[in-house]
Amino acid sequence: MATQFEHRDRIFPEAVQPGHNRLRIAVCTLGCRLNRYESDGLLQRFVESGRYESVELEEGPDIAIINTCTVTDQADNRNLAAIRRVQKYNPAARILLTGCYAQTDPDELRSIPGVVLVVGNDHKTGLLEMVEELLATNRTPLNNTIERDTRETVPGYGARPVLKDPFAYGYVLPRGHTRAYVKIQDGCDRRCTYCKIPMARGAGISRPVGDILEHIQELDRRGVPEVVLTGVNLGWYRDRDAGLRFNDLLERILIQLRNTRLRISSIEPCDVGEGLAELMRHPRFCDFLHIPLQSGSDRILKAMRRTYRAHSFIKRVETVRRYNPDVFVGTDVMVGFPGESEADFAMTVDVCRSLEMANIHAFPFSPRRGTPAAALQTDGTKFRRDQNDSHEFHAVDRSIVRERMRQLSELHAACFERYARRQFGSLRTGIIEKLSADLHSVGDEWRRAVALTDNFLRVHFNAPAHIRKGDLIELRIADTHNAMDRPGHVFGHIQSNSG
């Protein structure tokens, strides 16, 4: 806990001390949509204070906040790469680390040169107050790590209260995005054996329904074209005071939407059923679901401590498609969980192929320190879940993991191609994400554009000059012959501004 300040080094150079120019600040976000929402909220708080100017990392900020992720080893490496990137553009930049990696492994980060403060998720919302205190004293804290604490203030930061409410970002507006993320929930009470996120985010907690509705109403009033609900475990959402669960929240949101469409981020299989499928028939509900499978083998799912089995996953996806055959369904697949045999992997492939998952996000198992699954890398015999199971849960050879990843990549491309071809000739609403800066790229009055449709297709088309980023339009899906070469992209023609 930060309780003292060093008197040796100034934390900021004289040129950016109080009374001088505004501090230039950049936020770098790693990981999930929840982190992206929180980064937007942090930057909004800094800018609205009037003492800070938002810049890009490439512009060499005075302060860089890196909102870290720790879901895999690759994520940990990206965190360190982000630090190096900041130092490349401004070696004198003061770096503040927050997020999940900062929460779970602060000691690995605090000694990195240039890192001024390491703040876990518990106190992320209080970064502005912490920086203000550091500016007031202009001294580097002796202990620059703020860890988990049950109190509302952090010793060493004077009388300034440090915000600890995970929903205290206020009404976050999209910054540089065409979609707005709205955090409705944080934390997770499930204990999947491979997952470190409960250590980083804590127990499940939900945002009050009234606050969510007011936030979305403000976004709708401002004409934001799409709202994405985000959280660690969306389906766990509960407003106990109001007696509402996740589907109740969705129903209330849909009632008040006038201009904005609604999308939900990843949702667990056990939270997908008839109720959600019925709600998705609403015209402002995007035809998109991301439901993590992780494995098609019941043996592996049991070892992962997942709360469903392959047959129930299949049944829930089929339920959604019975209500809407055109819904885009994506999934996550973990490859190489300890003990995953060829037969186990074949079951995973069979589930993905039989359901024709439109997006298969495959990633290799990564042993996360402190999780039960990490112990399997050294002694898989201790993890037998069934006395009749003769398998041991030892590590899977990396070359085998790479080959399985390759097979899933090919399956993903083929499944997406089939889904995209079924959309040929359909009319979809899309949000302009990218526009060519050169009007002459395809003529004097047209330019190349990319739009994200409600069913998660990125459509390339020629847009008239008056179209702007963030506009909601109607597109006719016209061509998918290159979809295998560019998975996730199809081609179309603009019909009109949807309004």
What mean pLDDT is predicted for residues 351-377? 93
> Is it the case that residue 153 has pLDDT exceeding 60?
no
Q: CATH 3.80.30.20 in the chain: give the residue spans.
A: 180-421
> Is it the case that residue 269 has pLDDT exceeding 70?
yes
Which has the closest alpha carbon to 391: 308, 306, 302, 311? Answer: 302
Q: Which of 37-51, 200-214, 337-351 has the highest mean pLDDT?
A: 337-351
Helix (H) or strand (E) holding 64: strand 63-68
> Is it the case that residue 196 has pLDDT exceeding 70?
yes
Determine phi and psi for 45, rounding to 5 degrees. Answer: -65, -45
pLDDT of residue 498: 58
Determine phi and psi for 147, rounding to 5 degrees. Answer: -105, -175
Residue 238 buriedness (CB in 10 A; 0-12 / 13-18 / 19+): middle
List CB contacts of 415: < 8 A, sequence separation 6 or more. 352, 353, 356, 357, 358, 360
> Is it the case that residue 388 has pLDDT exceeding 70?
no
> Is it the case that residue 495 has pLDDT exceeding 90?
no
pLDDT of residue 437: 74
Q: Which of 222-226, 350-354, 419-423 has the highest mean pLDDT?
A: 350-354
What mean pLDDT is predicted for residues 293-308? 97
Q: What percent of the chain clears pLDDT 90, i.e. is strictly above it?
A: 62
Which has the closest alpha carbon to 454: 260, 231, 253, 255? Answer: 260
pLDDT of residue 220: 92
Distance CA 417, CA 485 (A): 10
Instruction: Give the CATH number of domain 14-146.
Output: 3.40.50.2300
What's the CATH class of domain 180-421?
Answer: alpha beta
Q: pLDDT class for 162, splitting at 50, 70, 90?
A: very low
> Is it the case that residue 431 has pLDDT exceeding 70?
yes
What mean pLDDT is predicted for residues 144-173? 48
Average pLDDT, the chain: 85
Helix (H) or strand (E) holding 252: helix 246-256
What's the CATH class of domain 427-497?
Answer: mainly beta
> Is it the case that residue 407 has pLDDT exceeding 70?
yes
Look at 8 and 126; give whichever has higher pLDDT.
126
pTM score, whole prediction: 0.85
What mean pLDDT is predicted for residues 352-371? 95
> Is it the case that residue 343 has pLDDT exceeding 70?
yes
pLDDT of residue 481: 57
Q: CATH 3.40.50.2300 in the chain: give the residue spans.
A: 14-146
177-216 burial, b at 16+ Cβ within 10 Å, e below that, comes to: bbbbbbbbbbbbebebbbbbbbbbbbebbbbebeebeebb
Check: CB of residue 168 under 8 Å from CB of residue 183. no
Q: pLDDT class for 2, splitting at 50, 70, 90?
A: very low
Q: What is the pLDDT of residues 66-101, one digit of tens each?
A: 999 999 888 999 999 999 999 999 999 999 999 999
Strands 288-290 and 244-245, sheet pairing: unpaired
What mean pLDDT is predicted for residues 406-419? 96
Structure tokens at 2: 């930060």
List CB contacts of 111: < 8 A, sequence separation 6 or more. none
Q: CATH 2.40.50 in the chain: give the residue spans.
A: 427-497
> Is it the case that residue 389 has pLDDT exceeding 60?
no
pLDDT of residue 176: 66
Look at 193 and 393; give whichever has higher pLDDT.
193
What mean pLDDT is predicted for residues 243-254? 97
